Amino acid sequence: MTEKTPPPPRKSLIAIVGVIAAIGLGTSIPRDESGRTVEARVAPSGKLQVDHKAGSQHLTAYRDIVGVLTICDGDTANVKPGLVETPEGCSRRLERQLVEHAEPVMACIPTLREPGRDYQRWAVVSFAYNVGTDAVCKSTLARFMKAREWKRGCDELLRWDRAGGKQVRGLTLRRQRERAICLRGL
């Protein structure tokens, strides 16, 4: 079953989070979600360009570790059994999902818009991509970041390493990577 690929987002990820965070997200999300290696850069159009380098792309819908239908780089939106996507469609899905996660995060944690917060934006949007924007916006991490207690906010990432009520090594490693990114420049 092939489904029409969703249209590109109205706003670019770069416009929302900046070049450093967008390129970081464009490379780290595929690695964390699907294990593939990509190269991300700013295209002449000003959009994020993600080029596949190595690893498998999950072009067919599959169930993740907690049973949620997923495709491409962890995208769960409008995924049905048997769905097949193209590499170009996966790139569009990735940017659309990153925009859909970045906008609410930037709205609920406005201090992330401050100059010099590129790495904190990258880490928190990556976190939101994995746990959802509602969880991020209601979290202690958000409270600390709004109060400009950056290190404490970054440390909160380590608490979110469970799926289905159980600690998951892959999530522990992901949160450690996100925390290390978050601490850059502090």
Is residue 165 in some structural domain? yes
C-alpha angle 128-132-133 in degrees, rounded to nearest 5: 75
Is residue 7, in this structure, part of any structural domain at all?
A: no
Q: Which amino acid is at 71?
A: I
Residues 54 and 36: their CA atoms lie apart, in Å, by 6
Q: Give the CATH number, domain containing residue 139.
A: 1.10.530.40
Q: Does residue 1 lie in a domain region? A: no
In the chain, which residue ranges form alpha helices assigned H by DSSP? 13-17, 19-34, 87-108, 118-131, 133-137, 140-146, 150-156, 169-183
Question: What string of pLDDT tens digits covers the 186 residues of the chain?
Answer: 555 555 555 789 999 999 999 999 999 999 998 899 999 999 888 888 899 999 988 999 999 878 999 999 999 999 999 999 999 899 889 999 999 999 999 999 999 999 999 999 999 999 999 999 999 999 999 999 999 999 999 999 999 999 888 998 999 999 999 999 999 999
How is residue 184 written in tokens?
């850059």
| Domain assignment present for 155 | yes
Instruction: Tell me which H or E stretch contains 63.
Output: strand 62-63
The range of the structural domain enclosing residue 163 comes to 13-183
Contact status, residue 49 vs residue 42, Cβ threshold 8 Å: yes
The answer to whether position 4 is within a domain reads no
Residue 5: inside a domain: no
Q: Are 154 and 120 in contact (CB under 8 A)?
A: yes
Number of domains present in the structure of the chain: 1
Is residue 3 situated within a structural domain?
A: no
Looking at residue 47, what is its pLDDT?
85
Q: Which of 110, 120, 125 is nearest to 184 (CA)?
A: 120
Q: Are strands 62-63 and 69-70 parallel, antiparallel or unpaired?
A: antiparallel
Burial class (CB in 10 A: 0-12, 13-18, 19+), 48: buried
CA of 178: how far to CAs of 47, 51, 123, in Å?
A: 23, 22, 5
Residue 39 lies in a domain: yes
Q: How far apart are alpha carbons 26 and 94 in whole angstroms?
A: 8
Residue with token string 């690695």: 31
